Amino acid sequence: MRESKDLRGGMYATGSTDGNPLNRQPLVAISADVVELYKYLWQATPLQYIEAAVAGAGVFPLIVPSVGDRLDFDQLFAAVDGLIVTGSGSNVHPSLYGGDRSQANGPYDPARDSTTLPLILKAIAEGLPVLAICRGLQELNVALGGTLATEIQERPGSLDHREVQSDNRDERYAIHQVLSVTPDGCLSSVVGADNIIVNSLHRQAIDRLGEGLEVEARAEDGTIEAVSFRSASAFALGVQWHPEYWISTDEISARIFRAFGDAVRARAAHKGPVAYVAE
């Protein structure tokens, strides 16, 4: 394992190659948002997910632009061995699950929805390891026919799952929420604990569970905080919190990304060695 320094200053033991060309960092597709920066639109993925993929999972993230069915997904899936669907400040469009389309439930990113939902379904169908985070878990659920509840903090008896209002990102991503982990499930086998403590930055959550999904963790108010597609032929885990943020200091976060990376490497190895052309 090589030591490497990320762009945020953390030191990591990378899961990357041992120099053997047949053990290169497997390629993993990662979602992108359409966002405005410097007064024009970008396809962008937050740095924290890229860093966690490289240093925590030991994979090579390839940002997939949110351009919907103009992408040849077969071409992509011939090249990658996993999929990461990231969090985002935008919400899945309610029209995709029969929800309230008001602007109050925004902001929206329809270009991302039109890309991630088919991408998730194809990844599961093809047995690609999937790690879906926050909005990604919500997209996983909607892609499988589930629904979302909005402004969950307003529900009677609900905790407030939103982040604290602060300019300090470490404070926004503070680890404080206790979850109970479903015994003998995918998450339980990864984290090796009945209870975990995580961060929380969301105002929506799973309402009706999508087809084939199983609950892997719940918050103290019953909110679904993790799901898996257990019949998937590979690792297919969605988490409502953000393990990518504290990957260099939080063991639970590190275990999730390491398990995902191991599943990706297992698929890559099963596909056979990468064609290596000597210089």
Ligand X SMILES: N[C@@H](CCC(=O)NCCCC(=O)O)C(=O)O
For residue 13 the two structure tokens come to 């033991």
Find the residue with minimal CB distance to ligand X.
87
Marked catalytic residue, from 51, 139, 225, 244: 244
Residue with tokens 């086998």: 189
Closer residue to ligand X, CB minimum distance, 52 or 268:
52
Catalytic site includes residue 176: no
In 3D space, the residue among 226, 277, 263 whose CA is nearest the CA of residue 80 turns out to be 263
Query: Catalytic: 139?
Result: no
Active-site residue among 93, 161, 202, 242?
Answer: 242
Is position 15 an interface residue for ligand X (rule: CB under 6 A)?
Answer: no
3-state secondary structure of 112: helix
Binders of ligand X among 47-86, rule CB under 6 A?
Answer: none
* Closest distance to ligand X from the beta carbon of 34 (Å): 15
* Selected binder of ligand X within 88, 116, 182, 248 (CB under 6 A): 88
Q: Which residue, 177 or 204, has its beta carbon nearer to ligand X?
A: 204
- As a whole number of angstroms, the distance between CA 173 and CA 154 comes to 21
CB of 31 to ligand X, least distance (A): 11
Among 7-15, 110-118, 197-205, 255-263, the segment contacting ligand X (CB under 6 A): 197-205
**Contact between 112 and ligand X (CB under 6 A)?**
no
Is-contact 46 6, C-beta < 8 A? no
Cβ atoms of 205 and 94 within 8 Å: the answer is no
Name which of 137 and 252 has its Cβ closer to ligand X: 137
201 binds ligand X (CB under 6 A): yes
Pair 133, 86: CB distance under 8 Å: yes
**Nearest distance in Å: CB 18, ligand X:** 34
CB of 137 to ligand X, least distance (A): 8
Q: How far apart are the first and last CA of the chain?
A: 25
135 lies in the binding site for ligand X (CB under 6 A): yes
In which region does residue 58 sit, left (phi positive, over 0), alpha (psi from -120 to 50) or beta (all else)? left
Q: 75 or 165: whose CB is closer to ligand X? A: 165
Number of residues that bind ligand X (CB under 6 A): 10
Is 244 an active-site residue?
Answer: yes
Sign of CA dihedral 193, 184, 52, 223: negative
Largest CA distance in the chain: 64
The count of C-alpha atoms lying within 13 angstroms of the C-alpha of 42, restricted to the half-sphere facing its C-beta, is 9
Residue 214: CB atoms within 10 A of its CB come to 14
Instruction: Give yes or no for a cis peptide into 107 (omega within 30° of 0).
Output: yes
* Catalytically annotated residue among 51, 93, 134, 216: 134
User: Residue 60 CB, nearest distance to ligand X (Å)?
Assistant: 23
Active site residues: 134, 242, 244
Binding site for ligand X (CB under 6 A): 87-89, 91, 134-135, 201-204
